[in-house]
Chain A
């Protein structure tokens, strides 16, 4: 079955960077885009951007432009999201999400989430 397995929780100081991995299994990794979404406690999810594992093309939400980088390693079917210049407001659970597209598109698979805590 389709699975997205993310790396473990991270604790970072303000100004540092964090890089989260998302390993895909159960399908052809290069066939569907991976999006990254974060969710602060008690808030709705917030979209950060997308990446095509096939081409490596990316698109980022304006809010994160300049601070976020999405990459992939097709040999290990792994997507990565790096967020730099961390501040306390970046404390959240971060999810990778597969966007399945056939005749219609939908987001059917989410990673288990990675808690990132930013604190001095």
Chain B
């Protein structure tokens, strides 16, 4: 099975900061990677698919990059509404999710 390792587990940043979350796959997944945002009590919401494609309706401050085994999600200018947990998800070989990164606003 492909393992997904996300870092950091938690980060605290100020409004307007640039924030980066990393996800590493245990083997190459090409660019079959998605990023989700999840707020308490709700289902995950798709932000990015195929590593770098912004899903419809998602603010342009979110971006994704990477291929192979290393991927990043960047929030260009952190907003209060971005307080949430973020998950990466590989769908190259079956599905695996990362353990999540909790983003807090200082």
Residues on A facing B (Cβ under 8 Å): 35, 37, 43-47, 59, 61-62, 95, 99, 104-108, 110-113
Contact = CB atoms under 8 A, between A and B. Distances in A.
B99 A44 contact: yes
B interface SS class: loop
Interface of B: 1, 34, 42-46, 49-50, 53, 55, 87, 89, 91, 94-100
Given A37-B95, A104-B53, A110 B43 contact: yes
A104 B43 contact: no
26 contacts: A37-B95, A37-B97, A44-B87, A44-B97, A44-B98, A44-B99, A45-B44, A45-B89, A46-B97, A47-B94, A47-B95, A47-B97, A59-B94, A61-B94, A99-B91, A105-B91, A106-B34, A106-B46, A106-B50, A106-B53, A107-B89, A107-B91, A108-B46, A110-B43, A111-B43, A112-B43
B9 to A, nearest CB: 11
Contacts, number: 48
- Candidate in A35, A44, A46 with the most chain B CB atoms within 10 angstroms: A44
Nearest to A42: B100
B95 A95 contact: no
Contact of A45 (B1, B87, B91): B87
B23 to A, nearest CB: 11
A99 B100 CA distance: 21
Given A45-B87, A104-B53, A106-B49, 16 more contacts: A37-B97, A43-B99, A44-B98, A47-B94, A47-B95, A59-B94, A61-B94, A62-B1, A99-B91, A104-B49, A104-B50, A106-B55, A108-B46, A108-B55, A111-B43, A113-B43
A112 B42 CA distance: 7
Contacts of A35: 95
Nearest to A6: B43
A107 B44 CA distance: 10
Nearest to A103: B50
B97 to A, nearest CB: 4
Contacts of B44: 45, 110
